[in-house]
Amino acid sequence: MTLPFHLRHAVASDLDAILELERATDLAPHWPPAAYADILETISPQRCLFIAVKDSSLAGFAVGLLHSPASNRIAELESVAVSANSRRTGIGRALCRAVLDWSRAGGASEVILEVRANSAAAIALYSSLGFTLSARRPRYYRDPEDDALLLRMVLQ
């Protein structure tokens, strides 16, 4: 089956589109442009940035991080954003799976993430992938105020 989008590692020329999508996604973590530029310019086995391309346009992206030490390594799904017109098409799931596969290949034994408690669609996606609740941080987020849910998945 051919997907209506394809995934790949982001490159420096994708930066403007990544920033545009991130800024258009209200509940996405809003990092400084330099943070994305650093990921794209620094070849590192500790960070990944995958993008989904649909009809020659950026439809979504996901960022992953491998924490040290290498023994009993924990990975983090730091950010996932999908354009409003591409949601519920499998792009978010595919991006998450790409980061999970990358984490597994990097030696991670588990993946963690943090999500707003009011992000029902994101929580449903993460739960369907096998993430479970490990903790809650009351009133962690601002604008709007919300709790943070810490989710965890043990990799097989």
114 is an active site residue? yes
Alpha helical stretches, state H, the chain: 15-24, 33-41, 91-105, 120-129
List b or e across 44-79, with b for residues whose CB sees 16 or more CB atoms inside 10 angstroms.
eeebbbbbbbbeeebbbbbbbbbeeeeeebbbbbbb
Query: Tokens 């669609």 correspond to what residue?
Result: 121
| Secondary structure percentages of the chain, helix, strand, coil, to 5 | 30, 40, 30
Catalytic residue among 114, 140, 141, 145: 114
Catalytic residue check, 140: no
Which one is catalytic: 110, 126, 140, 145?
A: 126
53, 10 Cβ separation under 8 angstroms: no
Distances, alpha carbon 151 to alpha carbons 16, 19, 28, 31, in Å: 30, 26, 16, 21
Residues labelled as active-site residues? 114, 126
